[in-house]
Every structure is written in C-alpha cells, then in structure tokens.
Amino acid sequence: MSQGAAPVLRRITLAELPEGVRSPVDSGTLNAASEIVNRVRAEGAAAARDFAERFGERAPGEPLVVQRDDMDGALDTLEPEARGVLRRTAERIRTFARAQREAIRPLDVPIDGGQAGHTIEPVCSAGCYAPAGRYPLPSSVLMTAITARVAGCERVVVASPGAHPVALAAASIAGADEFLAVGGAHAIASMAYGVDGLKPCDVIVGPGNRWVTAAKQLVSGVVGIDMLAGPSELLIVVDASANADLVAVDLLAQAEHDSDAVPMLVCTDSTLPDRVDAALARRLAELPTREVAASALGNGFVCVVGSIEEACLAADTIAAEHVEVMTEAPGVVADTIRNAGGVFIGPTSAEVLGDYGAGPNHTLPTGGTARFQAGLSVLHFLRLRTWMRIDDADAGAGLVRDAAALAALEGLAGHRLAALERNT
C-alpha cells in the first residue's frame, strides 16, 4: 500500500469489537414485510401472484408452483459438466447429512418402575428457501433440500425467485417435490400459509435477504424456522505465519456476497494489516465483482491483538458466522474458540469450500447468534418426542409419593389426587 493511502480495512481496538446480538432486521423492513405476509395470509395465491408479477418473478399466467417433471427437464438441459458438479456436490452434502442423522439415536433409560426415553420423528414437510438476487444459488438449494430429505421429511418444497433453470436442476437432484418460483417475504408467507395448491410447510429454512428474514420472524410460531440470519460474515484469525495474499482473497470472497457482507481480520502481527491492505487493493482492481466487494470491505475491520489468547477472546466476542484460522497451530486455536457458526481450520481449509459443498451446511448463524445457535442440520427437521412407561407400580411408589408431595407444594390438589390414585 502506498504511503499515505487510506487503509482498505479500518483499524479498531479490542474495546471496539462488535459484541452482543446484532439484529438482522430493521423495524422498517419488519413493518413492511408484515403487510406482505398478512396480505398473502388473507388473499392466498392472488396476493402471491401480484407480488411475483410486480417483482418480475413470474409472467402473467405462469404457474407459481413448478412440479417435479419441469425440475427434471431443467436438469436434462444442463451441460454434462454442470450436471456433474451439482451431483458431486449433492453427494458430499448428502453423505455428511446422513452421518449426522445416524449420530442421533433413540433413547431408552430406566426410571422408577419402568422406562423413559425419546424417539426421533421428522417433520412431515419442509420449505427450503434459496436466494437468487444477482445470481441463482444452486448451492443453497442443495444444502437445504438435501438435508431435509435425509432427515426424513416426506415432502420437500424449494422456493427461489424466478425458477432459474440451474435452481430447478438443483432441486431435481435434491429430490424436491415442488418448486415455488417466487422469493422474498411473499415466498415465506406462501410456504407458511399455503397458496395455489401448495400446502403449508411445517418448517421453513434457508438464507435470504432482510425481507426473507423479516418474514421468517413473522411466521415463526406458525411454522418452525432455522434461524434469523443477517448479512454474511467472515472472521479470519491469524498470526505471523499467515500469508497476506491468501488472507486478502478470502476476505474478498466474503465481501463479494453483497454490499452488506462483513469481512473481519484479527491478527497478532502488527505488520500484517498493511500487507493485507496492499493485497486487497491489488486483487480488488482485478475482481469483476469489485463494486460490491469494495462496498462490503467498508463494513469490515482489522484488529491487532497482543497474543493468540487475545485473538481467541476476540473471536468469541464477535461470534461470527464463519471463522477461518490461519495460525501455526490452527487446531489448538480452533478448539479454543467457542463461539462460531462454522470453523475452517488451517490455510488450505478455505471457507469457500464449505460454501460449495465440502459436506457441512453453509446455512449458519450470524450477528452474534452463534453464542446460542448452530448451523442448519438434520436436527432442524427432527423432533425428539419423549415417552415414559411405568410397568411396576410397587417399584414406582417413590415416584408417586414425590409427585404427590410436589403437587401439594404447588397447591394443585388435582395433580396430587391423580398421582396418589396410582398407589391404590
């Protein structure tokens, strides 16, 4: 970077790090999305079609819902190379999701006089949203719909604006049953309440813009949702061993998502920020998406800390969606960091490889919510249904007595009576 040039990434101190949960939706968007959601709930397909035509997603007379034959037809029109990429990516996602599903087991434990446990039940239907702003995102179709299908959902709906052929093809490979060719808040409302022959879904998942996120917040409780995700984030944690050019290209990959994306760097080497800035400036000049990336870099920052321990503390304070670790002992650092949506360990483990289907899901918590949320997985489509059975009333007598005593403490005479009846 030339002397006197403004830094590409602003410098901040540890005390200036963002902390706490950052709201993904402003009140204005939430209020406007509420009008859309309420209209779709009240008017159904007529409202959804009005919005779809207004936003150029569907032409008059085009169906809102695309069926499986058309998805399969779109797959057939793709070049063999493109079909191969989608199928290989799908298999990696499917393999990881199956391993997750197999790790979740029914439970059966002894209790006084009997047994208790849980069974694992998938929800019946899943709605899977995939954005398609500047470009369609078939990776999001695969990440969401395949995970739902592996979890055991009987019906999988994909929603994405415009029914782009590559999104339809990805939905075919993922095994989707229906494709809702609209986006935004009206797509979320349509999957929550049902429109034009499309029955309501039980769970709605997937990334999207602030309108999608606002609508998910509004329908939560009517349906299950995965999370309320805001702008995408990448935090890179580095020491003096890091390659400045590699750091720069990863920050740019994050920045080109959209102008609201947040690229962040925490480092222990005070000479690294200037070297990363120089690499960013050089690479940015060559990047076709430089206008968007340059805007997003303005949201980001670099923070120089005194030690790896402070770097881990900084990472836990930010609780970023994606955390890359490029240090001499990346595994140790990754194990120390507790708050992250997804962790990418070592310089060869690029976050973009996770975005594009190494296996783990790329739908991850943002805005500090990684403190209490996890990324999309088969768990979002499963319910742990508990059960208990008392076979031996004598052996369960102590449980009956304690239940009756607790009922008396709470002043619930009917509860006490119901428990004591089991001792007769």
Structure tokens at 134: 């500047």
Rounded to 5°, the CA angle 320-151-200 comes to: 90
**Cα–Cα nearest to 40, from 227, 218, 230, 228:** 218
- Only one residue has tokens 């049953």, namely 177
Residue-by-residue DSSP string for 89-155: HHHHHHHHHHHHHHH---EEEEETTEEEEEEEEE-SEEEEE--BSSSB-HHHHHHHHHHHHHHT-SE
Are 344 and 350 within 8 A, CB to CB?
yes
Cα(263)–Cα(292) distance, rounded to whole angstroms?
A: 13
Cα(398)–Cα(400) distance, rounded to whole angstroms?
A: 5
- 200 by Cβ neighbours in 10 Å (0-12 / 13-18 / 19+) ranks as middle
Are 269 and 240 within 8 A, CB to CB?
yes
Out of 186, 257, 322, 362, which one is annotated catalytic?
322
Are 156 and 107 within 8 A, CB to CB?
no
Buried b (16+ CB within 10 A) or exposed e, 223-244: bbbbbbbbbbbbbbbbbeebeb
Cα(200)–Cα(125) distance, rounded to whole angstroms?
A: 8
Are 20 and 369 within 8 A, CB to CB?
no
Three-class DSSP category at 333 = helix
Query: Does 380 qualify as catalytic in the annotation?
Result: no
Query: Does 322 qualify as catalytic in the annotation?
Result: yes
Q: What is the largest CA-CA distance in the chain?
A: 89
Are 3 and 271 within 8 A, CB to CB?
no
Instruction: Spell out the residues 6+ positions from residue 57 whose beta carbon is closer than 8 angstroms to its own.
Output: 51, 161, 162, 181, 182, 183
Cα(251)–Cα(279) distance, rounded to whole angstroms?
A: 11
Out of 178, 321, 324, 351, which one is annotated catalytic?
321
Distances (CA, A) of 138 to 23, 145, 158, 160, 379: 27, 11, 11, 10, 22
Find how far residue 53's CA is from the centre of its chain: 28
Catalytic residues: 321-322
